[in-house]
Amino acid sequence: MDIQKIINEEHQGKDPVCAYVYDLQQLKSHAESLKSSLPDFCELYYAVKANPDPHVLSALTPIVDGFDTASEEEMNKAGGERPLLFGAPAKKDREIASAVEKGIRYINVESLHDLYQINEAAGKSGKVMPVLLRVNLRKDVPESHHMMSGTPTQFGIDEYQMPDILKAAAGLDHVDVKGFHFHAMSNNLDAEKHVAFTGLCIQKAKDWAGAFHLDLETVDVGGGIGINYWDPGTPFDWTTFVEGLQQLEKEAGDMTVILELGRYVTAGCGYYVTEVLDVKENHEQAFALVRGGSHHLRLPAAWKMSHPFQVIPVDRWEKNWPRPGVVNQDVTITGELCTPNDVLVRGEKVDKLRAGDLVVFEYAGAYAWTISHHDFLSHPKPQMIYLNE
Q: What is the pLDDT of residues 302-314, one digit of tens each?
A: 999 999 999 999 9
DSSP state letters, 205-236: HHHHHHHHT----EEE----B---SS-TTS--
pLDDT reported for residue 13: 74
Per mean pLDDT, which range of 129-143, 158-172, 283-297, 335-349 is the poorest? 129-143
Q: Say whether 338 is catalytic.
A: yes
Cα–Cα distance measured from residue 360 to residue 122, given in angstroms and rounded to the nearest whole number:
48
pLDDT exceeding 70 applies to what percent of the chain? 96
Q: What is the pLDDT of residues 84-129, one digit of tens each?
A: 999 999 999 999 999 999 999 999 999 999 999 999 999 999 999 9
DSSP state letters, 366-383: SSSGGGS-TTGGGPPPPE
Cα–Cα distance measured from residue 220 to residue 11, given in angstroms and rounded to the nearest whole number:
42
By the 8 A CB rule, do 169 and 177 touch? yes
Cα–Cα distance measured from residue 266 to residue 299, given in angstroms and rounded to the nearest whole number:
15
- β partners of residue 288: 279, 333
pLDDT band at 141 (very low <50, low <70, confident <90, very high): low
pLDDT reported for residue 342: 97
Q: What is the mean pLDDT of residues 240-248?
A: 98
pLDDT over threshold 90, residue 11:
no
Phi, psi (degrees; rounded to nearest 5) at 334: -125, 170
Q: Residue 7 contacts by C-beta under 8 Å, 6 or more apart in sequence?
A: 17, 19, 273, 358
pLDDT band at 140 (very low <50, low <70, confident <90, very high): low
Enumerate the CATH 2.40.37.10 domain ranges in the chain, comma separated.
Answer: 3-21+268-387
Q: What is the mean pLDDT of residues 151-164?
A: 84
Long-range contacts formed by 187-190: CB under 8 A, 24+ apart: 187/144, 187/145, 187/146, 187/224, 187/226, 187/227, 187/263, 188/141, 188/143, 188/144, 188/145, 188/224, 188/225, 188/226, 188/236, 189/143, 189/226, 189/228, 189/235, 189/236, 190/141, 190/143, 190/236
Catalytic, out of 42, 201, 269, 338: 338
Enumerate the CATH 3.20.20.10 domain ranges in the chain, comma separated.
Answer: 83-261
pLDDT band at 4 (very low <50, low <70, confident <90, very high): confident
- The answer to whether the pTM exceeds 0.85 is yes
Q: State which fold the 83-261 domain adopts.
A: TIM Barrel (3.20.20)
CATH number for the domain formed by residue range(s) 3-21+268-387: 2.40.37.10
pLDDT over threshold 70, residue 143:
no
By the 8 A CB rule, do 344 and 361 touch? yes
Q: What is the mean pLDDT of residues 172-183?
A: 95
pLDDT band at 55 (very low <50, low <70, confident <90, very high): very high
Q: How far apart are the first and last CA of the chain?
A: 15
Per DSSP, 161 falls in state G
